[in-house]
Amino acid sequence: MKYFFIIAFIFCANCLQAQIFIEKGLIEYQVVVNNHKAMGDGAWAEMFKDKIPKLSTSFYQLTFAAGKSIYRFNRKDEKTKSPWGNDGSEENTWYNDYNAQKFVQQKSVFGETYILSDSLTKISWKITNENRMIAGFNCRKAVGILFDSVYVFAFYTDEITVSGGPMSMHGLPGMILGITIPRMFSSWVANKVEINGVNYSNITAPLKGKKKKATELQETVVKLTKDWGSWGQQAVWNIFL
């Protein structure tokens, strides 16, 4: 029995030594949006559905180090590209300082470019026992709520120690590698994690645009879109996510 415990101890020690915890790197996310569902069921939407792809796919990159991150557009899948060109959203940038609990974002809103700053949004998470492998990492499922009523289903790994994720997602005990938001008909799933040859010098707050408090601009956008119905809700969620 004594030898059994010694062997078990050595085995556990080796497992702990083999486990690697990542503090900095680059994550690429594949972002998929169901355009047809996002457009709704009205006559206007039905008229345009055959002119745009049902699903659009794009790729974003999150670079993180020292408790900070920068998240920005990288490329689109040309096969699913919208025929109406870029609406400015490809210039959007999310800079998060998780230690200071602050963010700075560059956002294109109705043709204007803004620099938004504020405290990181507090998300109430409930961690479940469901697990899933994403990009080679064992991830655990958590459920959160945004904008008072929008459910977010996330998968995070504690093997990456930064409590962050794509866009303004954060607050879990590890990095978020997968997100699904049913009411936005969108998903974000990491397809690779790189730790070698990463350029960390771009983890800086964006500067280009009119400076504005995020809460102030959100109030303005909500008023402007209040008569848009579900389209207005989608606009607010997309802009301030």
pLDDT (mean) for 143-171: 96
pLDDT tens, residue by residue, 69-124 = 999 999 998 887 766 556 667 899 999 999 999 999 999 998 899 999 999 998 99
pLDDT tens, residue by residue, 189-237 = 999 999 999 999 999 999 999 999 988 998 888 888 888 777 777 778 8
Structure tokens at 86: 């870029």
Burial of 159 (0-12, 13-18, 19+ CB in 10 A): middle
Q: What are the CB-based long-range contacts (under 8 Å, 24+) for 12-21?
A: 19/159, 20/159, 21/158, 21/159, 21/160, 21/161
pLDDT (mean) for 182-192: 96
* Amino acid at residue number 194: E
pLDDT tens, residue by residue, 8-57 = 444 444 444 446 799 999 999 999 999 878 776 666 566 667 778 889 99
- Tell whether the model's pLDDT for residue 125 goes beyond 60: yes
pLDDT (mean) for 128-150: 96
Distance CA 88, CA 225 (A): 19
Top pLDDT among 155 and 219 is at 155
Instruction: Please report, for the chain, the start and end positions of each structural domain, with discontinuous segments joined by +.
Output: 22-211
Please tell me the predicted confidence (pLDDT) of residue 53.
82
Q: Are strands 102-109 and 210-213 parallel, antiparallel or unpaired?
A: unpaired
Bridge partners of 194, per DSSP, are 26
Q: Is 164 helix (H, G, I), strand (E, B) or coil?
A: coil
Say yes or no: domain 22-211 is CATH 1.20.5: no
- DSSP state, 48? H
Structure tokens at 78: 């040309």
Please tell me the predicted confidence (pLDDT) of residue 198.
97
- DSSP state, 120? P
Please tell me the predicted confidence (pLDDT) of residue 13.
45
